[in-house]
Amino acid sequence: MKKEFEYAAIFNANDVKDDFISCIASVVEECNETAILVESRQGIDRIADVLNTYESGKPELRLQIHEDVARQYNIEAETTEALFNVAAIIRNNTRTSFEESLKIVTAITENYNISHK
């Protein structure tokens, strides 16, 4: 069963296909727990959830991608979740924004030919 969220962000299918992780980064700072939706000609799909958990008093952001939907948009769920997690760690340890942290991760992955869609 999927969790209910107070917030949802909806993106155009083309934006999701072009740069999914940047779509997510654009909402993380505003509302930590968010359902990520994608709008296409067929309707609206829930492609991922941004979760905020608290362990030992520290907030931890997690990305949960719904793989069945992600496949329709050529999103590599495992790679995207890993990139998100690394950016979240950088954000928590350097006090930079999530978007800046993601730029660091993206720059590293581009140098090593790792997809960051």
Residues 86-99, mean pLDDT to the nearest whole number: 86
Quick one: pLDDT at residue 71?
92
Residue 115, pLDDT > 70, answer no
Average pLDDT over all residues of the chain = 82
Residue 34, pLDDT > 70, answer yes
Task: List Cα–Cα distances, 95 to 1, 65, 85, in angstroms.
Answer: 34, 25, 15
According to DSSP, residue 10 is labeled E
How much of the chain, in percent, has pLDDT values that exceed 70? Answer: 85
Helix (H) or strand (E) holding 12: strand 7-12
pTM of the model: 0.77
Quick one: pLDDT at residue 31?
72
Continuous H helices in 7-112: 13-28, 67-72, 77-94, 98-111
